[in-house]
Structure 1
């Protein structure tokens, strides 16, 4: 074989190897479709037994609840803390939801009582895991979900999506939201559970809801004093 033919054969072999390795660009790393992801996530969230949650806000004068954190059970019991804005004054409140009764107290003093319906007019964290009001409905009703990237959230591999989220459902999760929100969702790759939701509410303001400790046993006990 001539030198010229050897060079041509070598180039042809090299090109075929490059083509075989590269294939269709993005075929190996193609992101799953947004509609399929939110559907799977809604189904996964429907089976959740318990979780820990945080809700934090930035530059949101229209929201009374500035921060919230606690533990939730799928039965509706919960405990944690709320930071509320009362006429420009921030107050920290501890709460326990046990059955139909809510126990709450400020930084000083003992626990007082209110009904669950009275708390719901301010903030009802038990809605988060309620399949008829919370995350399940938020995911099921997400409009135009589009998967944007793969990212880490709290050490977990996740898909980041963008979608339009319903004001009516969001208001159960973040009180006083008055409009639909073009939000960002992070869905766990391994379990399809929602890890985080970021809700832009203005040019500079937003609310962020995060969920962790899925199915870690939660036992909520009514306070005695």
Structure 2
């Protein structure tokens, strides 16, 4: 009988060590609210970054499948450079891009850049929104609702906390202008002091059961970025 009671007590203690609170927050992980507050402040102070945007499936208002580039808000306005896979009329094309002095230049092959009118540039992607505290990642993080820390994960060599929550269509509109409904968001923030945002993924529902995801990954944060208009 004593062995049975001892074994039962051990099971109870192990189970208690794995409990979650009423919000689904694992007891051994830091609360999402504190992580998000710190991460939002850190995100608002980012002035340059390497960023990757991946779009999978049908996402309203997104004219790109992938962007891999560098972005800076230092100096005059927003500047960016990199490679994008742009979708139009049912087909996709890879293009080198440069955003400098409020002008977007695209090279879809051959090494010749052409200037895209300002009215059309944001249709490719609104680079100015990514690091804008009022429209971009910082706003998304700061307003994430029903947030819960669900795990510890490694993202490209960075130790992170994984947080799930919900964003309104207004809070994500800067990153995905065509958003027409609230979306489920998964966010990864570094475990280091400052809880720097490392990755964010938003899931968009589709009308006919189809939907899509947008994933934004940041690295090389606040490292120098130089962007010059193409010659």
Asked whether the 8 Å contact 1:182–1:200 carries over to 2, the reply is yes
1:34 and 2:32 aligned: yes
Structure 2 equivalent of residue 43 of structure 1? 41
Which stretch has the larger CA shift, 134-143 or 196-205?
Answer: 196-205
Could you say what the CA RMSD is over the residues aligned between the two structures, in angstroms?
A: 2.7
Which stretch has the larger CA shift, 102-111 or 186-195?
Answer: 102-111
Structure 1 equivalent of residue 161 of structure 2? 159
Residue 140 of structure 2: SS of its match in structure 1? Answer: helix
Structure 2 equivalent of residue 198 of structure 1? 201
Aligned residue runs from structure 1 range 178-189, under 5 A: 178-189=180-191
What 5-or-longer segments of structure 1 have no aligned partner?
Answer: 1-17
Asked whether the 8 Å contact 1:56–1:68 carries over to 2, the reply is yes
What 5-or-longer segments of structure 2 have no aligned partner?
Answer: 1-9, 20-26
Residue 42 of structure 1: SS of its match in structure 2? Answer: helix
Residue 186 of structure 1: SS of its match in structure 2? Answer: strand
Residue 180 of structure 2: SS of its match in structure 1? Answer: coil
Q: How far apart are the structure 2 equivalents of 1:113 and 1:195?
A: 32
Structure 2 equivalent of residue 221 of structure 1? 228
* Cα deviation 1:50-89 (Å, max 9, x = unaligned): 1111111222264422111110112311111221221111
Asked whether the 8 Å contact 1:123–1:175 carries over to 2, the reply is no
Q: What TM-score do the two structures reach when normalised by structure 1? A: 0.81
Q: Matched residue pairs, number?
A: 208
Q: How far apart are the structure 2 equivalents of 1:197 and 1:212?
A: 12
